Amino acid sequence: MPLIRDIGRTAYEYVDPRLRAEQRAAEGGLSEKRVRERAGELLDEWVADANTGQVAAGRHPFNREEEREIRAIVLRRLFGLGDLEPLLADPDVENVYLNGFDSVWVESRSKGMQRMASPVAESDEELIILIQRLAARESIQERRWDTAQPILDLTLRDGSRLHAVREVVRRPTVTIRLHRLLKLTLDDLVQTQVIDQRGAELLRAAIVGRQTVVISGATGAGKTTTALALASCIPPEVRIVTVEDTYELHLDRDVDAHPNCVAMQARQANVEGRGRIPAGELFEAALRMAPGVLIVGEVRRPEEVEPMLDATGAGDAAGSISTIHARSPIQALSRFQSLALRGPGRTPMEASAHMIADAIDFVIQITARRDRQGHRRRLINSIVEVTGVRDGSVTRSELMRVGPEGREWVNPLSDRRRDVLAACGYDDSAWYARAQERYA
């Protein structure tokens, strides 16, 4: 008997075209409920015919377990993630890379990068159809992936992020970054040694004290995870507005922790090329919602910087959390300045330095690396306080860093921020006294 996977594909090839033909023929289309019902009926037809053929050929009909597997394969292809689903269901998998339907790479916590033997589709064309279906089904907005719109960014229902490219590459290319932890606290980061207890206490007090924290790191370093942990410190009575290119934080889903939260997502142009609303344009709407905290998924574009700095610097949304792609806190601050210079207002370097110093209080750097056993570990390796402006540049003081000897707390907080954080329960008086003696 052929492999169950191949039999499942044959069943899918029977059900799918018939189901699509009925959807096209029905006036106004079929409801989602009816589509699923009809898929089950067509599957029943196929199984009955296939079992008849099995008996006629002198073979046993499908047993209960085989039939269950066949149905699962077909329904995954019709309404789920197809052959991607087992990969995404594996708790050890962090990222999935598809360089065409048959070049499947998986990055896991325990084994690193590995090439998988099985393809996730039968052809590149089938892979394209799978991703198009996901785009139509998984997003709250119209998300196209065709020759006119060859780049797709999509958040799956479990929070995973999908990025797909076609036309400008030789074969359809898909990257899926799994995002499993939608509820996370600073205590979780302490437990996994991403940060120590003292660092967690400082960041917790910073958020409660309505300080603005920027999380800097490379792709996949854990910026969103850290932002979720920081957001867990926001009191439930505080109104939160999040602005993102693609939903990643999902704070509005956690109605117990964040009952007064509005999540905003940028919108792509429709089929006619109209209706695009970039993240930069959402800031004005976000500020009109009177947020207590404004959270920016990631600062990427020049037009996003000025509205964000204005909002947090003027105190309209003090206590902002945002992320930026950079290799160090120094580079993160420089990126803010360069983005402001390239923005619509062409803000000069000195003016942007003052805007940054007024708006941002702390920058933390997170990195991801593999330990000697090959396990992927994330680590907050620097916490920097923004202290002011000198000679047109943003001044800062590194409070904590990770060196050859491990974590080192190297500089005290400024008096002003020390008072703010002390009012929120952060006590570093003993260390501060020792530091004062050292610098006396």
Q: Indicate which CATH number applies to the domain containing 223.
A: 3.40.50.300
Rounded CA-CA distance 164/166 in Å is 7
The two structure tokens encoding residue 143: 């998300």
Question: Would the pLDDT of 78 be above 50?
Answer: yes
Amino acid, res. 47: V
Rounded CA-CA distance 176/155 in Å is 9
Alpha-carbon separation of residue 73 from 76, 164, 179 (angstroms): 5, 23, 24
The reported pLDDT for the residue numbered 89 is: 85
Based on the domain organization, do 203 and 351 belong to the same domain? yes
Based on the domain organization, do 212 and 150 belong to the same domain? no
At residue 232 the predicted structure's pLDDT band, cuts being 50, 70 and 90, is very high
Based on the domain organization, do 118 and 201 belong to the same domain? no
Looking at the 3D structure of the chain, how many domains does it have? 3
> How many CB atoms are closer than 10 A to CB 56?
8
Q: What is the CATH number of the domain that holds 167?
A: 3.30.450.370
Cβ-in-10-Å burial (0-12, 13-18, 19+) of 196 comes to middle
Domain boundary residue, one of 78, 96, 129: 78
Tell me the pLDDT tens digit for each residue of 273-307: 778 888 778 888 888 898 889 998 888 888 788 87
User: Which residue range(s) make up the domain with 70?
Assistant: 1-78
Domain boundary residue, one of 180, 199, 234: 180
Domain boundary residue, one of 27, 48, 78: 78
- At which residue do the structure tokens 């594996």 appear? 90
Based on the domain organization, do 101 and 15 belong to the same domain? no
Based on the domain organization, do 223 and 120 belong to the same domain? no
Question: Would the pLDDT of 318 be above 70?
Answer: no
Question: Would the pLDDT of 189 be above 70?
Answer: yes
At residue 315 the predicted structure's pLDDT band, cuts being 50, 70 and 90, is low
The reported pLDDT for the residue numbered 203 is: 96
Question: Would the pLDDT of 258 be above 70?
Answer: yes
Based on the domain organization, do 143 and 61 belong to the same domain? no
3-state secondary structure of 14: helix
Based on the domain organization, do 97 and 192 belong to the same domain? no
Based on the domain organization, do 131 and 209 belong to the same domain? no
Based on the domain organization, do 145 and 205 belong to the same domain? no
Based on the domain organization, do 209 and 229 belong to the same domain? yes
Based on the domain organization, do 392 and 258 belong to the same domain? yes
The reported pLDDT for the residue numbered 1 is: 47
DSSP, res 272 = T
Based on the domain organization, do 430 and 326 belong to the same domain? yes
- Structural contact between residues 309 and 299, judged by C-beta atoms closer than 8 angstroms: no
At residue 422 the predicted structure's pLDDT band, cuts being 50, 70 and 90, is very high
Question: Would the pLDDT of 392 be above 50?
Answer: yes
Q: Model-level pTM?
A: 0.77
Question: Would the pLDDT of 439 be above 60?
Answer: no
